[in-house]
Amino acid sequence: MKFKLLSMLTLFALPMAATATTPFVGFYQTIDDEINAPKSIVALYEYKDGDDIELAGRIVALYNTDGTISETLSNPQRIADKVAGSPKMVGLDIIWNMEWDDEDKKYEDGKIMDPKSGKIYSSVMWQDNPETLNVRGKIGPFGRTQKWNVLKQTDLPSDLQNIDATEWKPNITK
């Protein structure tokens, strides 16, 4: 009897454990569309919005045009001058309110901001393979999709390897 009860509890607990972590949480290398070189590192993190768990993304590093990292959270320099309040680009939340669609296995209904222009678009994210994340900013049916590279902990600069984003919440300046 104890074995049956334990088996039934395990059977019900497994689906809850599988959905406890938000998909796509982690670090991603964005690519500059114009020069096809690394542009930034974005940390995708989950946060609670009321009763919902949503996904947001924060720039945590920027690259130079030669592919070396020039700025991280410990030394932000460049300014997002088209964004209200002219914040630093590193530390800027550029994705927020992304909601997981379990049926379609993608995030949708969120927003993404272009930090260079300050413009905000609707967004959707999905994976075709485990090495890249498709990130689409759009207005209605029109938009642009970028492929972001998944980064492992060991790919990150040392000052980013121990980031704790569990208490982060998007700080949106529109």
Topology of domain 20-160, CATH: Lipocalin (2.40.128)
pLDDT grade, residue 4 (50/70/90)? Answer: very low
Q: Where are the domains of the chain?
A: 20-160
For residues 125 and 145, what is the distance between their CA atoms, to the nearest angstrom?
9
Where is pLDDT greater, at 67 or 1? 67
Mean of pLDDT over the chain: 88
Element (DSSP H or E) covering residue 149:
strand 142-151
- Mean pLDDT over residues 105-125, rounded? 96
What is the sign, positive or negative, of the torsion defined by CA atoms of 65, 67, 71, 73?
positive
The helix (H) or strand (E) run that includes residue 17 is helix 2-18
Mean per-residue pLDDT, 70-92: 96
What's the pLDDT score for residue 174?
Answer: 63
Confidence band of 172 (pLDDT split at 50, 70, 90): confident
Residue 170's pLDDT is 96
- At 124-160, the pLDDT tens digits run 999 999 999 999 999 988 999 999 999 998 999 998 9
Confidence of residue 21 (pLDDT cuts 50, 70, 90): low
